[in-house]
Structures are given as C-alpha cells and as structure tokens.
C-alpha cells in the first residue's frame, strides 16, 4: 500500500474542494485492528445496563451537536440541511433503541433433552466488524451498522465514503464512554475498502453500496469464510391504485422519488398508475414538481439540492437521454438548472419501456418514469420484473389490494400509503439482488452475534446408550 495520499472533499453545490482528508495506510490499519482487538476484550465484559447508559449518552451527544453535524453533511453531500438535521435525529434514535435492546440480548433457554439437564443458547459477539457505508446518509447508515454491532459486544472499524468523510469523522470524535479503540474510522476509496475487507484481523463485514462492489465484497468474505451483511440498492416500484386521493398520492410519489435528489436506495424508480387516473396523476405530479425549489441546500426554502458529483448526474442524464432517444417523453424537467454545482431538475417521463435503462437499472436520481397499467395484476407483475427487491410502495384504500401487494411483491419492505418510513424496531434489507441479511430490529442485532449452544448435565454418570451396544 502506498504512503498516505489525501481525499479531496468537494461541495456538490459549488463543485469546489473545501477540505482534504488523509487516506489510511496499511500500517495505520494494522494499528487500528490491534487497538480494536484490545478494546473488544474490554468491551465484551461490560454489562448490558452499562452499555445502555453509554448508548443513551451517545444519543444525547449527537443531538447536542446536531446543527454542526447537519451543516457538515450538507456541505460535503449536498442534501438539504433540513433533511440532514432529521438524519441526526434518526441516528440518535438508533443508538437509543439499541441501547435498550442490548440489555436483554444475551440469549435464551430452549427446552432441554431431559428434565434434569439445562440447555442454553448464548449470543456472543463476532469480534472486529468492518462497516463500510455510502455517502447519501453517512451518519444514519453508519448507525444502522455501528449501533447494533457495538450493542452485540463487537469492536468496529468504520469506513465512510470518500465523498463524505467529514461528518462521520466528527461523529466518532465526539462519541464518549467507549473503550479506546472500540470505534475507529479509516478513510479512503475502494482500495482502502478492499484492504479492510481482506485484513486478517477483521471478523465480519457490513456493507451498503452498489451491486458491483457488493459482489466483490461477498467474494472476498466467502474466500475468507467470514460473515457479510450486504445491502445493495434497489429499483423500487410505486403502485398507485384508482381508489385514492390522487393529489396526495402524487405529492407522496414526488417526495419519495426526489428526496435527497433521488439518491436514496429505497427511492421509487418505477411508477405504475392505474389507467383511469394516470392523466390526473401526471398533471398533479407535474404541478407539484414545478413548485419545488432547487438550490442552495443550506437555505430553509430549498427542497432539492445538488446530486453528489458529476458522475452521478451524468448517469441520470444518460438514462433519461436513452429513454428519450427510444420514444419516451419528458413531461417536466430533464435539464441542469444551474451551471455551477451538480444540480439536476426533477424529471417526469412517460412512454417508457421495460427494456430502457431508466426502468431496469438503478438510476439514483430525481426521475419519475410513469407507466399506465390496466390493473393490479399487471402492476404486481411489473413490480417483480427486475432483479432487485429492496422496497415497494403502494397507494390504495382497498384492504384486499394491500394484502395482495404485501404477499405477492418480492421486496424487503412494503410501504402502504406512507412512503419510505423506516422503523428502528423493524428489519430493513432486500430480497433477490438487493442484498443479503438485515439491519435494524432484533434481526439487525443478531447479524452481529454468534449463537453458542451450551448443554449441561449436572450428573456425572454413564449413559445407557453408550458402548458396548451388546450389553
């Protein structure tokens, strides 16, 4: 590994570099893993009640620094300040939740084979966990991994995206109460991530990112026979039935598609609208899009900020351009509102086909491609037609429709009449090509635990089923 270089942190609203962060060398990573192993030995002996108190303290500290952290995230990531401020609240809530769960996560007692015996299942930590998180929600997606990993008794080495290292670094700096070395951050791009995943002192990897990188992580962890949790994005469907308030459904659809400029793994990217209300939906969605403020993400009035970088915007432009070239129509948007920064207008498309990239590949931008469907059967078939299965959204008043979508759509989360609402107490993750494993809820804690079965017979005596069989 070469000597440390520096990551240039760019403000997406201006396109200008405003800070540099040294990348982590192999020597520094070796030292970090040694500190983690030492801290792990100390931390695993800390009681659940003590861990809970520490976690609640972390939550309070995050809230005390909420404006500072939100401003940093806005400068490095471009998400509007109001959304980043909410992200800090959600991050704090995640630590609160796992602080309480940590108090009763030591295992359980299954029924023994014989009445005089005792059977225990003990939940133990894995060891040192590498957490690799993306740039779109740098603190929240870190907390979804870090909080349960620590609650389970592990040490954590956290690598934020090279696009957004600053808020994560600051969060680690202000967290108090943990043994020295239990939570450490390292910095760099894919080469540093690869070095981390391959490091012999790393016992597990928790990763959120693209399918392409996730496959590479999965291959390395499989070769090393260590555990991996992989959240690999989606191409979420959004179904609008003809029995709802279309104005509400349109506003919900636009918000879900354009939140963080569409750069959310659960952003809906395919919209299936019942034919009888498709025209009304398009008009309501177009009107709502035209009312949105695009601009400086630090301004209170801003609804949509810039995309993360030029490459991200270029991918969106490519998907929209290819669709247009093959017969799709831009209803609204489709351009760059400013010369400076990486802004892109929210865009509604009609006339799209399943073969188009905008309908089959993850776009990760503020694009709403709309397809008219004749009924729920057709909508569900379209929803299940891609190799992703992270989330799905449905608007309907019909309870039968709700049950059908819940049962028949292959997705890790199904939101009905309330898009993109996450719950710390419920598991999050994907089916099919959207990943392996779950975050949040008790499943999210168990992802970072090993199960050990202990069988106890207090009697020391010969068993009747032992050798010799002939007696």
Q: What are the tokens at 180?
A: 């020295």
Distance CA 120, CA 126 (A): 18
Query: What phi, psi does 445 have (nearest 5°)?
Result: -75, -45
Burial 74-112 (b: 16+ CB within 10 A, else e): bbbbbbbbbbbbebbeebbbbbbbbbbbbbebebeeeee
Kind of pairing, strands 183-185 and 155-159?
parallel
Kind of pairing, strands 329-332 and 107-108?
unpaired
Whether 94 is a known active-site residue: answer: no
With beta carbons less than 8 A apart as the criterion, state whether 275 and 246 touch: no
Residue tagged active-site, from 131, 258, 265, 405:
265
Distance CA 71, CA 263 (A): 18
How many Å is the Cα radius of gyration of the chain? Answer: 24
Query: What phi, psi does 126 have (nearest 5°)?
Result: -80, -40
Find all residues with CB under 8 Å of 393, minimum gap 6, and list them: 236, 237, 238, 239, 252, 253, 256, 268, 414, 415, 416, 419, 420
Q: Around 183, how many Cα atoms within 13 Å sit in the side-chain half-sphere?
A: 24
Whether 231 is a known active-site residue: answer: yes
With beta carbons less than 8 A apart as the criterion, state whether 321 and 357 touch: no
- Find, among 395, 436, 442, 3, the residue nearest to 188 by Cα: 3
Distance CA 315, CA 365 (A): 9
Residue tagged active-site, from 76, 83, 163, 231:
231
Tell me the sheet residues that pair with 268. Answer: 236
- How many CB atoms within 10 Å of residue 48? 17
Q: Which positions are annotated as active-site residues?
A: 231, 265
């Amino acid at each position: 590994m070469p000597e440390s270089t520096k990551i240039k942190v760019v403000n997406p609203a201006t396109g200008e570099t405003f800070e540099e962060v040294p990348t982590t060398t192999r020597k520094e990573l070796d030292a970090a893993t040694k500190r983690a192993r030492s801290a792990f030995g100390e931390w695993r002996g800390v009681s659940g009640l003590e861990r809970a108190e520490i976690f609640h303290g972390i939550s309070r500290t995050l809230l005390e620094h909420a404006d500072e952290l939100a401003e940093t995230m806005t400068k490095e990531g471009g998400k509007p300040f109001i959304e980043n401020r909410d992200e800090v609240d959600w991050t704090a809530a995640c630590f609160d939740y796992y602080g309480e769960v940590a108090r009763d996560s030591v295992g359980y007692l299954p029924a023994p084979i014989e009445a005089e015996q005792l059977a225990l299942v003990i939940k133990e930590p894995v060891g040192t966990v590498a957490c690799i998180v993306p740039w779109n929600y740098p603190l929240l997606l870190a907390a979804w991994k870090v909080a349960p990993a620590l609650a389970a008794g592990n040490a954590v080495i956290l690598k934020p995206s090279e696009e957004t290292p600053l808020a994560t670094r600051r969060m680690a700096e202000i967290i108090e109460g943990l043994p020295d070395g239990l939570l450490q951050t390292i910095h760099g791009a894919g080469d540093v991530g690869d070095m981390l995943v391959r490091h012999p002192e790393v016992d597990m990897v928790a990763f959120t990112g693209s399918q392409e990188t996730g496959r590479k992580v999965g291959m390395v962890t499989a070769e090393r026979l260590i555990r991996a949790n992989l959240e690999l994005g989606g191409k979420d469907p959004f179904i609008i039935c003809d029995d709802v308030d279309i104005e509400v459904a349109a506003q919900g659809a636009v918000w879900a598609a354009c939140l963080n400029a569409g750069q959310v793994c659960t952003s809906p990217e395919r919209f299936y609208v019942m034919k009888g209300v498709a025209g009304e939906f398009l008009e309501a969605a177009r009107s709502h899009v035209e009312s949105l403020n695009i601009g400086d993400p630090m301004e209170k009035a801003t609804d949509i900020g810039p995309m993360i970088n030029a490459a991200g915007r270029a991918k969106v432009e490519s998907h929209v351009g290819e669709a247009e070239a093959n017969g799709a129509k831009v209803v609204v948007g489709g351009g760059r509102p400013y010369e400076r920064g990486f802004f892109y207008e929210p865009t509604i498309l009609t006339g799209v086909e399943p073969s188009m990239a905008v309908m089959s590949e993850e776009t990760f931008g503020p694009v709403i491609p709309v397809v008219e469907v004749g009924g729920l059967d057709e909508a569900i078939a379209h929803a299940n037609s891609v190799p992703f299965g992270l989330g799905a959204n449905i608007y309907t008043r019909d309870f039968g429709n709700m049950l059908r979508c819940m049962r028949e759509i292959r997705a890790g989360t199904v939101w009905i009449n309330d898009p993109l609402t996450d719950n710390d107490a419920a598991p999050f993750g994907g089916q099919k090509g959207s990943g392996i494993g779950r975050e949040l809820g008790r499943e999210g804690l168990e992802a970072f635990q090993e199960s050990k079965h202990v069988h106890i017979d207090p009697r020391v005596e010969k068993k009747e089923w032992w050798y010799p069989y002939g007696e």
